[in-house]
A and B are shown apart, each in its own frame.
Chain A
Amino acid sequence: MTTSLDMQKPVTIRVNGEARSACVEDRTTLADCLRGAMHLTGTHLGCEHGVCGACTVLVDGHSARSCLMLAAQAQRYTITTVEGLADNHQLSVLQQAFRDHHGLQCGFCTPGVLMTLTELLRDQPDATEDDVRLALSGHLCRCTGYQNIVAAAMAALKISRER
């Protein structure tokens, strides 16, 4: 293995409306770049092979696993992480609904779940409970049994529709 393969290189990624630069190896995933190099530790890493959903972020507005994308690849896109959901200290409708409905316990899966549901709220404002559960099928939660996550999502959908 040549040393050049693990050389650090500069990347610039647009994250939460701000261009952020870091030096990472080519093999560094977006998830590790966000957490390690950019100190955005809101995005969590669980399985590192795309199954658990904890690392889900928005890539050009669409939910995707940040463990299945390289930091170098992410330079093409606009990335939104959980840190980008609140407006200053004002929680998003979805985040507030999670708080109100006890939609999280340990909080490990929550950042990824919030990103998927943010996409759902925008793309399917009339989503049914079945649609919500289908979207959540891409996430593992070991605490809540999903019930309160679904309740929070349904409440957020209702509030968004009424606005």
Chain B
Amino acid sequence: MKPTPFEFHAPGTLDEALELMASLPNSRAIAGGQSLMPMLNMRLVMPDHIVDLNGIETLKGIRDLGATVSIGAMTRQRDLEFSDLLRARVPLLNEAILLVGHRQTRNRGTIGGSLCHLDPSAELPTVCMAMDATLVAINGSGRRREIPMREFAVDLMTVSLDEDELLAEIHLTPWPAPHGYAFVEFGRRHGDFAIASAAVLLEMDNAGIVTRASLTLGGVGVVPIRLTAGEALLVGSACEAPLLDAVAAEVESCDALDDPAYPAAYRTRVARRLLRRALGVAIARATSERVNS
């Protein structure tokens, strides 16, 4: 199908874009367009105005700020994939990015677009939830608002941006090296939306005791889910198998999405297995990194 008629605007600066968004009724901002364009073509959204963010250079790029890494909202998934900085400092993101769509969609798709679209099974929101990312929004009067990912992801494909705000930056705080990490997912074909995914981050002390843990599920709930009870169980443990099984069992208590193709019970079962697998990978990595460092 083809989109319904709309007027196209291509601002060159963020200020111009914010002004357009504030003044134009029924407008939508377009980032990489890898989700919005299908929705336009299928007439699931019918805006009167499209504001193109692709010409705003200040929204692009990956910067090392020392304690944090700042990623412009219009940075393409391709640039995340090939970033030496992210590969070295945020290996979880590097592992996840190769599961985002295909080469042809990563070449255009952006991190900000993926976060604002907030598909429940999308990888980048899951990574940002796992990393406790801070998202920076800017509004028409130039006010910067920092939003923790847990507050940004409100509900199914719904984010906490105000109508006059655009997402400008994503701040990630890399976990110190060495740490364990894993991102695993299951879908019916490569590049399909995942039925479920699991992201694990682990820090261990010299004795192999977990000192910090982050466990996140994607595709299971309406937004990525942090398993806080499982994280608490892990910290202070030596990752014995029965404990890991108990950690993975927390998945059963999640309120899982339910549809005819993938009933909640199936999603939950897949997610539980994925989490257990991700835990194994992250622990192995944390252990070998610790031994080698």
Contact = CB atoms under 8 A, between A and B. Distances in A.
A70 B34 CA distance: 12
Contacts of A72: 8, 10, 52
Nearest to A62: B107
Contact of B37 (A25, A56, A62, A68): A68
B269 interface: no
B280 interface: no
B5 A27 contact: yes
Interface string A1-16: 1001110000000000
Contact of A5 (B5, B30, B105): B5
A103 interface: no
A19 interface: no
Given A69-B108, A137-B190, A5 B6 contact: yes
Contacts of A138: 101-105, 191
Nearest to A4: B7
A62 B189 CA distance: 23
Given A26-B50, A48-B41, A73-B52, A56 B6 contact: no
B104 A67 contact: no
Interface size class, chain A? 20 to 34
Main secondary structure of the interface of B (DSSP, over half): loop
B272 interface: no
B103 A67 contact: no
Interface in B225-277: none
Contact of A25 (B5, B10, B48): B5
Contacts of A67: 37, 41
A73 B10 contact: yes
Contacts of A73: 8, 10, 30, 33, 52, 54
Nearest to B39: A49
Interface string B91-105: 000000000011111
Contacts of B38: 48-50, 68
Interface in B78-131: 78, 101-105, 107-108
Interface string B53-74: 0110000000000000000000
Contacts of B13: none
A81 interface: no
Contacts of B40: 27
A28 B90 CA distance: 39
Interface string B1-35: 11111111010000000000000000000100110
7 contacts: A5-B5, A26-B50, A27-B40, A64-B107, A68-B105, A137-B191, A138-B104
